[in-house]
Structure 1
Amino acid sequence: MSQIEHVDVLILGSGQGGKQLAWHLGRTGHRVAVVERQWVGGSCPAVACLPSKNEIWSSRIAHLTRHAGDAGTVTGPVRVDMAKVRQRKRDMVAKEDALHLQMYSSTGAEIIMGVGHLIKPKVIEVKLNDGGTRTLTGDNVVLNLGTHAAIPDVPGLRQAEPLTHIGALELDYAPAHLVVIGGGYIGIEMAQAYRRFGSRVTIVEHGKQLMGREDADIAEEMHRILTAEGIDIVLGAELVKVDGKSGKGVALHVLESGTERVIQGTDVLVATGRIPNTTGIGLEEAGIKLDARGFILVNDRLQTTAPDVWAIGEAAGSPQFTHASVDDFRIVRDNLAGKTRSKKDRLVPYTMFTDPPLAHVGLNEREAARQGIEVRVATLPMANVLRTMATDERQGMLKVIVGTQDDRVLGFTMLGAEAGEVMTVMQTAILGRLAYPTLRDAVISHLTYAEAIGPLLSRVPALQPA
Structure 2
Amino acid sequence: MPTNNCPKTDLGLENAGVKYTENGILVNSYLQTSARHIFAAGNVTDTNIQTHTALKRKVVSRLIICYIIIRLNSMNPHAHKVAFTQPEIAQIGNNEYDCKAKGISAKIAIVPLTTTVRSNITDQRIGFVKLIVDKKRVIIGGTIVGPHASDIAAEPPPAVRHKITSEELASTPHCFTSWSEAVRIAAGKLL
| Deviation, structure 1 residue 193 | 8.4
Asked if 1 retains the 8 angstrom alpha-carbon contact of 2:72 and 2:81, the reply is no
The answer to whether the aligner puts 1:373 opposite 2:96 as a matched pair is: no
- CA separation in 1, counterparts of 2:116 and 2:43? 26
SS in 2 for 1:430: helix
Q: In 2, distance between residues paired with 1:187 and 1:393? A: 29
Q: Deviations for 1:43-63, whole angstroms, at most 9, x for unmatched residues?
A: xxxxxxxxxxxxxxxxxxxxx
Where 1:447 maps in the other structure, the secondary structure is coil
TM-score (norm 2): 0.71
Q: Is the 8 A contact 1:180 1:204 kept in 2?
A: no
Matching residue within 432, 446, 449 for 2:162: 432
Given residue 30 of structure 2, which amino acid in structure 1 is its aligned partner?
G
Residue 444 of structure 1: CA displacement? 1.1
- Give the secondary structure class of the aligned counterpart of 1:456: helix
- The aligned amino acid for 2:89 is L
1:182 is aligned to 2:30: yes
In structure 2, the residue matched to 1:352 is 83
1:197-216 equivalences under 5 Å are: 200=51, 201=54, 202-203=56-57, 210-211=63-64
User: Counterparts of 1:416 and 1:408 in 2: how far apart (Å)?
Assistant: 24
Q: Which consecutive segments of 4 or more residues in structure 1 shift more than 6 A?
A: none
- State whether structure 2 residue 143 is matched by structure 1 residue 397: no
1:187-237 per-position Cα deviation (integer Å, ceiling 9, x unaligned): 996326849xx973143999xx934976xxxxxxxxxxxxxxxxxxxxxxx
2:175 matched residue in structure 1: 445
Deviations 1:149-201, CA, capped at 9 Å, x for gaps: xxxxxxxxxxxxxxxx823xx455558xx9873389x8996326849xx9731
Which of 1 and 2 has greater Rg? 1
Displacement after TM superposition at 1:355 (Å): 0.7
Which amino acid in structure 2 is aligned with residue 382 of structure 1? L
1:182 and 1:203 in contact (8 A); partners too: no
User: Does 2:100 match 1:362?
Assistant: no
Compute the displacement of 1:442 (Å): 1.5
CA deviation vs aligned residue, 1:230-268 (integer Å, no higher than 9, x gap) = xxxxxxxxxxxxxxxxxxxxxxxxxxxxxxxxxxxxxxx
- Classify 1:362/1:174 alpha carbon distance in 2 versus 1 (closer, same or farther; 3 Å): same
C-alpha distance in 2, partners of 1:204/1:182? 11
If the length of structure 1 is used for normalisation, what is the TM-score? 0.32
Q: Measure the CA separation in 2 of the matches of 1:425 and 1:193.
A: 36
Point out where structure 1 has 5 or more consecutive residues left out of the alignment. 1-78, 95-164, 215-272, 274-318, 322-342
- Classify the secondary structure of the residue corresponding to 1:400: strand
Instruction: Say yes or no: does 1:384 pair with 2:125.
Output: no
Cα distance in structure 2, aligned partners of 1:193 and 1:400: 36
| Residues in 1 aligned to 2:83 and 2:113: alpha-carbon distance in whole angstroms | 17
| Amino acid of the structure 2 residue aligned with 1:411 | G
Give the number of the structure with larger relative contact order, counting CA–CA contacts within 8 Å between residues 6 or more apart: 2
Indicate the structure with greater strand content. Answer: 1
CA distance in 2, matches of 1:368, 1:407: 14
SS at 1:393 equivalent: coil
Whole-Å separation in 2 of the counterparts to 1:213 and 1:396: 15
CA RMSD of aligned residues (A): 4.1
Contact 2:41 2:58 in 1 (8 A): no
Shift of 1:402: 0.4
Equivalent residue letter for 1:210 = L
User: Could you tell me how far 1:427 is from its partner in structure 2?
Assistant: 0.4
Given the superposition, is the C-alpha separation of residues 320 and 365 from structure 1 closer, same or farther in structure 2, using an over 3 Å criterion? closer
Structure 1 residue 426: Cα displacement: 0.3
Indicate the residue corresponding to 1:191 in structure 2.
Answer: 41
- Asked if the contact 1:181–1:204 (Cα under 8 Å) also holds between the matched residues in 2, the reply is no
